[in-house]
Amino acid sequence: MKDVIFYYRDYAYEGEVTLGGKPYRAMLGDEPLRRLPWQGQHCRQASGVVLLLDVNGNGKFDSRGESFDIRKPFAVAGTTYEVTA
């Protein structure tokens, strides 16, 4: 396993977010980058912080459609949102 790199989340905060008047289970945490920094532009542009929203209400955070980089606008139920400080 000399060519394998293990990585783990360092932290995560879980709670609820209301978007468009509807509550969603949410988690905010650091995201281990899937590509190494020397493997392309992707890693240099990613914030490393991800917002997970249980959009479909199935009780878990799916990797597709429920994981959003907080530096980029994201859409839920036809409305685009942006995380700001």
Tens digits of residue pLDDT in 3-62: 777 766 677 899 999 999 999 999 998 876 555 554 555 444 566 788 999 999 999 999
Residue 4 located in a structural domain: no
Q: Which residue has the tokens 């949410």?
A: 26
- Burial code (b: 16+ CB inside 10 Å, e: under 16) for 45-72 equals ebeeebbbbbbeeeeebeeeebebbeee
Torsion angle defined by CA atoms of residues 11, 41, 54 and 21, in that order, rounded to the nearest 10 degrees: 110
Average pLDDT over residues 59-81: 92
Residue 61 located in a structural domain: yes
Q: Which residue has the tokens 């859409």?
A: 75
pLDDT for the residue numbered 49? 85
Q: Which residue has the higher pLDDT, 69 or 11?
A: 69
pLDDT for the residue numbered 40? 53
Number of independent structural domains in the chain: 1
Q: What pTM was estimated for this model as a whole?
A: 0.72
pLDDT for the residue numbered 52? 93
Residue 5 located in a structural domain: no
Give the domain extent around 54.
12-81
Residue 6 located in a structural domain: no
